[in-house]
Amino acid sequence: MRVLICNDDGLHSNGMLTLETVLSRDYEVWAVCPDRQRSGTSQAISLRETLRMNEVQPRHYQVSGFPVDCVNLALHSGMFPAFDLVVSGINHGYNVGDDVHYSGTVGAARHACIHGYRAIAISCGIYDIHADFSHVAEWFGGWLKENLHRLKAGSVYNINYPEMPGPDLEVRFTRHGKRVYKDDYEMLEEEAGKSFVFKLKETIMGHKEEELTDFSAIESGHVSITPLGLQTTNEEELQGWIESVKS
């Protein structure tokens, strides 16, 4: 089986390299990743810019674009063999709740899903770029072996591994919780009241306390898996408008 690995942290991130090492024991693994940090780019795509892709070593490629560009080139450029599974990660930091709308890690997996591939996004609550991700990768390798036959095209499996695993680590299938953000910017420069430079500060304020969410799982020291679909239509609202037009 052939697996494409991508991410938004770059080709040399510990999370991705550790994941590749573990998965390479059982699968043919190719890595196509951005040439720089691309966190928070969601499903951004290069529409008018040219893309440069460099082969760093066999089956390892860097792309001068976004995570979705990496997936697109791997799947549609004609330079690569067909893939059976796309795995995005291991991301340095959680992608829970509303994070999934902004995450380049999840965005890459969602894009693969749009094109009919089985796709997984895996993240861990470890933000240190030098940290050891081997325990996360080993767990994921075992879980994938057991559950590969159950994965379906049309769903993205968003996995979050706890920063502090509990003594009895479990897998909990969850909904996404609600992240609470505060958009707070710091002004770095001002020139004559006409030109300004801003930087976004830390925006995460907390989350709503709810059961059966990704937040509750990782806070309990367990793995959270949330299946994401591609349907974005609010069916209830749609039906309400349809009925109002009829009447």
Domain presence at residue 64: yes
pLDDT at 204: 66
Its pTM stands at 0.93
Total tally of structural domains belonging to the chain: 1
49-75 pLDDT, tens per residue? Answer: 999 999 999 999 999 999 999 999 999
Q: Is the pLDDT confidence value at 85 over 90?
A: yes
pLDDT at 32: 99
Which contiguous run of DSSP H or E holds residue 2? strand 2-6
Comparing C-alpha atoms, which of 161, 153, 133 is closest to residue 228?
Answer: 153
pLDDT at 238: 94
Question: Stretch 23-52: mean pLDDT, rounded?
Answer: 96
CB atoms near residue 160 (< 10 Å): 28
Domain presence at residue 194: no
Domain presence at residue 8: yes
CB atoms near residue 199 (< 10 Å): 9
| 26: containing domain | 2-177+209-232
Which is more confident, 194 or 9? 9
Domain presence at residue 201: no
Domain presence at residue 237: no
Comparing C-alpha atoms, which of 8, 19, 12 is closest to residue 140?
Answer: 19
Domain presence at residue 157: yes
Domain presence at residue 246: no
Domain presence at residue 244: no
Q: Compute the C-alpha angle 152/26/135, nearest 5°.
A: 90
Lowest mean pLDDT among 162-166, 199-203, 210-214, 221-225: 199-203
CATH number for the domain that contains residue 226: 3.40.1210.10
pLDDT at 10: 96
pLDDT at 201: 78
Confidence band for 154, pLDDT divided at 50, 70 and 90: confident
**3 exposure class (CB count in 10 Å sphere: 0-12, 13-18, 19+):** buried
* Token pair for 6: 């991508």
